[in-house]
Amino acid sequence: MNIRQSVFGQIATTPRPEVFDVDVSGLLRRLLLFDTVVIQSLGLREIPTLVRTFGKGGFLHLFNSGILKVSAEFTFLIIDIARNGVRTLQPSHFSFGVATLADRDGILKRGLLGLQGVAGLHNDERTPMEEAIVKGLVRPPAEYGAQLQAQVESDLRCNTPALSAAVREQLRLKYGDPVPEFQLHVEEPTPRTFHLVNDLPKVLGISDEDAHRILHSSVSAVANLNQRLADMEAYSAIVGFTEVDAPLLFGKLAGVISPQNPKPLEEQFSRVMTIANFPDFPSGKKINVDALLSVRESVECREFRAWLSRADSLSDKEIQDLVAGYWENSQIRGDNCDRTHLGCRIHSRTRIWCRRCISNRQNISKSGSNGVPHR
């Protein structure tokens, strides 16, 4: 599998602990842009919304075909080991452990309780669906947690530049610019116990405990970055990185990972759709899976993906001209992006793709009871 054609990430949004929503528009965008979408699920709580959106038959078609995959894991790294709430090590010292929630099956079952409220989904259909979903979940290798811990420890042992970058980012967030110069290096006084030797208390005039909290947040950032890289390997999929991650990425595999980031491609898609005045998918509407697959498997869609990866060099006006179907002598930048190339090939493909999207929008949004078109 080409890792660039598979994307891994959350679709749930939780702006507040009591609020849980599903970004259906974001999922639809990823289904159009990538061959495979792996959902990083929060306890399968997204599934009832997806069944309502795609219909029972439509959801199962996407799920069973492997176009849409779901992962629901609860493995995480413990960064500051404590006993009875008391840290066992001195400030600026860290040791690590791996933990996973014991009641995984119970959590997943509770996450699927929302299926009981899906209109038209009867009890004799719901139980087999729940079993098929749980059985079909994609899971990381058994050694995932141990390898994640070993990689974080290796990074600290090797004084990864990502750690200093993470500390600078924490100082910038806490104290603003300019970030003061500081000294930091890692020692391992006993096996798998790491002392982050630093002069933050002296430089900033803070206590050892305050310095420890800054270091804790920085080590957490490095661990989170490693976990996302581990997810990429485990699920053979690319994950999204934000601008906040950039300093850490440049400290660790920036040249390899940055070009694979799916986030710019998704942002370009949203930009083009906005310029084309293509309305967002309304919340609560059903998606016709057959119409969606027809668009996503078309030659135009695949060529549009390739064109989209180079569209960042185009101005809004140039994109508007392409979408509208006229040129007005714009000079397009990029590899082989002369007037003839775009005017005769990408220009027409873009118009065809946008026209196909627009003409299929009503079909995509209008479905039968199982998420497939009325025959």
- Mean of pLDDT over the chain: 80
Higher pLDDT, 331 or 33: 33
Which pLDDT score is estimated for 246? 56
Q: Tens of pLDDT along 248-270?
A: 655 555 444 555 566 777 888 88
- In which band, very low, low, confident or very high, does the pLDDT at 329 lie, cut at 50, 70 and 90? very low
Mean pLDDT value across residues 95-113: 93
Which pLDDT score is estimated for 334? 36
Q: Tens of pLDDT along 118-139?
A: 999 999 999 999 999 999 999 9
Please list, residue by residue across 315-324, b when 16 or more beta carbons sit within 10 angstroms of its beta carbon and e when fewer do. Answer: eeebbbbbbe
Tokens of 164: 């200093």
Report whether pLDDT(323) > 90.
Answer: no
Query: What percent of the chain shows pLDDT beyond 70?
Result: 76
Higher pLDDT, 201 or 309: 201
Q: Tens of pLDDT along 12-31?
A: 987 666 668 999 989 998 99
pTM: 0.75
Which pLDDT score is estimated for 200? 97
Mean pLDDT value across residues 322-351: 40
- In which band, very low, low, confident or very high, does the pLDDT at 47 lie, cut at 50, 70 and 90? very high
The CA distances from residue 163 to 93, 153, 186, 233, in Å, are: 14, 12, 10, 22
Burial of 151 (0-12, 13-18, 19+ CB in 10 A): middle
- Please name which of 217, 154, 208, 210 lies closest in space to residue 186, comparing C-alpha atoms: 154
User: CB of 368 within 8 A of CB of 374?
Assistant: yes
Lowest mean pLDDT among 75-84, 221-230, 335-344: 335-344
The contacts found for 204-212 with CB under 8 angstroms, 24 or more apart, are 204/171, 204/175, 204/180, 208/91, 208/92, 209/91, 211/91, 211/92, 212/91, 212/92
Report whether pLDDT(147) > 90.
Answer: yes
Q: Tens of pLDDT along 255-310?
A: 445 555 667 778 888 888 788 777 666 667 788 888 888 888 888 787 777 777 77
Which pLDDT score is estimated for 52? 94
Which pLDDT score is estimated for 242? 62
Q: Tens of pLDDT along 162-171?
A: 899 899 999 9
Report whether pLDDT(243) > 80.
Answer: no
